[in-house]
Amino acid sequence: MAAERASSRVLPNGLSSRDFENALKEFAAAIGDANVIASGEALQDYRDPFAFASADPNAFAPAAAAKPSSVEEVRAIVKIANEFKIPLWVVSRGKNLGYGGPAPRVAGSVTIDLGRMNRILEVSEEFCYAVVEPGVTFFDLYEHIRAKKVKLWLSVPALGWGSVIGNALDRGVGYTPYGEHSENLCGMEVMLPNGEVIRTGMGALSRGKTWHMFKHGYGPTVDGLFLQSNLGIVTKAGIWLMPQPDFFIACDLQFERESDLEQIVDITGRLRREGIIQNTAVLSNAVRLISRLGARGKWFKGDGAAPEDVVQRKLREMGLGAWNLRFAVYGPEELAEGRLKIAKKAFAAILGSRFESKKWDVRAHSPEEFTAAIGSESVQAGVPSLFALEVLKYRGEDGGHIGFSPILAPSGKEAAKLANLVGRMCHEHGFDYYGGFSFGGRHLWSVMMILYDKKNDEHRTEVDRLFRKLVKEAGELGFAEYRAHVEYMDLVGDPYDFNGHALRSFTETLKDAIDPNGILAPGKQGIWPKAMRGAGSAHKGV
C-alpha cells in the first residue's frame, strides 16, 4: 500500500504544481533543503500509521513536511504558508497513535515537524518545573533529570516516546499525581498564525521570574486556547514536575466479579475527591489485562470476539479477577502509610477483593536502580517506557488501534451504563471489549481500544462502523470524547451541540480573527476557517 500511495502526489487544495514547487523552494531557502521533505519513504512517515477507514488512501496525506529548528524558522514557514495559502499541520513528535499519528486533517497540508526543536531550556529543582521545546520527549526529559540527579518526578503517558508538550496540549494523561497533563502546563510561548509571538500569563512580563509558577497573569488567561487547537503553535512551555516523594507504595487490587464495577468506581471516585488516592487510578477489565500477554492467537484461535467462557478461563489461569485497579500513594512515610490504610479499609467493603501493595523507599535507590527495578509500576512513578506497545499485537502482528474515550462522571452507575453499551457493541462488530476507566480528580476518562489487524480488510471496515455507532449511541446517552482521530474530528464534535453548537461557532469566530487566511491546521477538532465552513454544518469539505 505504501508504494500505491507514494505514486500519487498530494498537493494543497487549489494550488498548482508549479506554485507548490515555488513554495517548496521558499521553505528550503528558509530552513535548509535537508529539512524539507516532499517525497519518498520519508514523507510516508508523516501519514497515519493505522489508517483504515477512508476509501481514499490520500485522505490524510501531507504534501510535504518541514522541520524547523527554531522559532525564527517556524515564523518563516508560517509566512510562506500565508503567502501561498497552504494549510499547515503541526506535530511535536507525531506519536499520537490511534488519533492519526502525524497525519494532517486536510490532505495536501504541509506538516511542521517540531522534532528538531528539542532543547530542555530550564529545569528548576527548587520550584519544580521544566521549560522545554515541543520536540523534547518524555524519555529525553527523564534522562536529563536522572543524569543531573534532580529530585523531581515526571508524569508520563503509557508510551514514553511522545512529546511532553504535544501530549499536554492534546490533554494527554499520565499516572502520577500530576497526571492531568494539560493542568500542569504553566506558561507558554506561542506563535500566532500571523507569525507574531506571544508569551502567556506572567511570561508577558519581560522582566518577571514567575512565568512558570503562576498560571495566570493580568486580564484574560489565554492558555486554554492552545489546547487541541489550531489557533497558534506552542514553541515552548513550562510543565510542573512533582517533588520526588520519599515513599511510593504501588497498590494492585483484584476484584472477583464483573458486577463489582459500580462499587469499585464509587469508592475510587470518593477516595480521589478526598485526596486519599493522589494519582490517576486505572481500572482495567479482563481483556485489557489479558492483552498484556500479546497475541490473542496464543489462547484463542477463532475470529470475532472471544467467547466469554474462554476469556474467563484465561483470567483464572492468570490468577486475575474480572477487574483490576492500580493506583499508588506517595509522600513521607507516615502520610503514604496513612493513605494506604484508609484505602485498604475502603476497598475491604467489596467482597472477595484482594489488595496487594509494594512499598519503595525512593531515597534508598539511585535513579538508575530505581528505574531498573520499577518494572510494570513504572508509569505510576513517572518512568517512561514502551511496555504498552505489546498490546498492539493482540489481533495480528501488524496491529492497529483506535480508542473511544468519552469523559464521564465518577459514578458507578454511569460507568456500568457505558461499559455495557461499549461491550455489547464491540462484540456485535467482532471485537473484544478492551476497556476500563482512568480516574481524574473529579471525572473519569473511559479507556477503550479497538484492537485490530491492519492487514485485515474486514477488520478495517468494522472498526469504522463500530466507531461511528459508538459516537452516536454513546452521545445520545450524554457521553462524548475529549479527543479524536483526524478521520472523526467533525463527527466527535457533533454531540457538543448546546445552542446550535454555539461553542464551536465562538471558537470559529476566534479562528477567523486570528488566522484570516485559515492556514493553521484547518479542521482540527472540528474547527474550520471561514472559507472551509459550510452553511450551518461543520464544514463544506475540502
Shortest distance, position 179 Cβ to a copy of itself, whole Å: 14
The interface with a copy of itself within residues 299-338 (CB under 8 A) comprises 331-332, 334-335, 338
Question: Per-residue DSSP letters for 199-217?
Answer: E-GGGGSTT-S-TTT-S--
Closest CA relative to residue 433, chosen from 331, 289, 269, 335: 289
Binds a copy of itself (CB under 8 A): choice among 4, 34, 220, 535? 220
Closest CA relative to residue 363, chosen from 517, 204, 243: 243
Shortest distance, position 488 Cβ to a copy of itself, whole Å: 11
Q: Could you give the CA distance from residue 215 to residue 362 in angstroms, rounded to a whole number?
A: 30
Q: Given the rule CB under 8 A, which of 220-228, 317-325, 361-369, 529-537 is the region that contacts a copy of itself?
A: 220-228
Burial class of residue 316 in the structure, from the number of CB atoms within 10 Å of its CB (0-12 exposed, 13-18 middle, 19+ buried): exposed
Relative to beta strand 120-124, strand 64-66 is unpaired
Shortest distance, position 116 Cβ to a copy of itself, whole Å: 23
Q: Looking at beta carbons only, is 25 or 341 nearer to a copy of itself?
A: 341
Element (H, E) at 316: helix 308-318
Q: Which of 171, 468, 482, 496 is catalytic?
A: 482
Q: Residue 75: how many CB atoms within 10 A of its CB? A: 19
Q: Looking at beta carbons only, is 63 or 329 nearer to a copy of itself?
A: 329
The interface with a copy of itself within residues 224-253 (CB under 8 A) comprises 224-229, 231, 240, 243
What is the contact mask toward a copy of itself in residues 180 to 219, using x (rule: CB under 8 A)? --xx--x-----x---xxxxx-xxxxxxxxx--xxxxxxx
Q: Looking at beta carbons only, is 39 or 505 nearer to a copy of itself?
A: 505
Binds a copy of itself (CB under 8 A): choice among 527, 528, 529, 539? 527
Shortest distance, position 506 Cβ to a copy of itself, whole Å: 5
- 88-91 sheet: strands from edge to edge: 36-37, 64-66, 110-113, 88-91
Q: Looking at beta carbons only, is 10 or 283 nearer to a copy of itself?
A: 283
The interface with a copy of itself within residues 366-385 (CB under 8 A) comprises none
What is the contact mask toward a copy of itself in residues 408 to 437, using x (rule: CB under 8 A)? xxxx--x-----------------------
Is residue 532 at the binding interface for a copy of itself, with CB under 8 A as the rule?
no
488 tagged catalytic: no
Q: Looking at beta carbons only, is 149 or 209 nearer to a copy of itself?
A: 209
Q: Looking at beta carbons only, is 263 or 411 nearer to a copy of itself?
A: 411
Closest CA relative to residue 192, chosen from 85, 115, 82: 82
Q: Could you give the CA distance from residue 30 to residue 391 in angstroms, rounded to a whole number?
A: 42
Q: Looking at beta carbons only, is 84 or 437 nearer to a copy of itself?
A: 437
Shortest distance, position 218 Cβ to a copy of itself, whole Å: 6
**78-81 contacts at long range (C-beta below 8 A, 24 or more positions apart):** 78/191, 78/193, 78/194, 78/195, 78/233, 78/519, 78/520, 79/195, 80/23, 80/26, 80/27, 80/30, 81/23, 81/110, 81/519
The interface with a copy of itself within residues 108-167 (CB under 8 A) comprises 126-129
Residue corresponding to grid cell 497573569: 217
The amino acid at 423 = G
Shortest distance, position 216 Cβ to a copy of itself, whole Å: 6
Q: Which of 296, 483, 504, 533 is catalytic?
A: 483
Q: Looking at beta carbons only, is 47 or 339 nearer to a copy of itself?
A: 339
Is 235 strand, coil or helix? strand
Residue corresponding to grid cell 476500563: 436
**CA distance from start to end of the chain:** 24
394 tagged catalytic: no
Q: Could you give the CA distance from residue 125 to residue 135 in angstroms, rounded to a whole number?
A: 21
- Record the cell numbers describing residue 251, joined without a space: 497498590
Q: Which of 99, 178, 394, 488 is catalytic?
A: 99
Shortest distance, position 299 Cβ to a copy of itself, whole Å: 37
Whether the Cβ atoms of residue 11 and residue 22 lie closer than 8 Å to each other: no
Element (H, E) at 276: none
Q: Looking at beta carbons only, is 241 or 315 nearer to a copy of itself?
A: 241
Shortest distance, position 442 Cβ to a copy of itself, whole Å: 4
The amino acid at 192 = L
Shortest distance, position 274 Cβ to a copy of itself, whole Å: 5
483 tagged catalytic: yes
Residue corresponding to grid cell 535537508: 34
Question: Per-residue DSSP letters for 43-77?
Answer: HHTTS-TT--S-SSTTTT--SEEE---SHHHHHHH
The interface with a copy of itself within residues 474-513 (CB under 8 A) comprises 475-484, 492-493, 495-499, 501-507, 509-510, 512-513
Q: Residue 46: how many CB atoms within 10 A of its CB? A: 24
Active-site residues: which are they? 99, 482-483
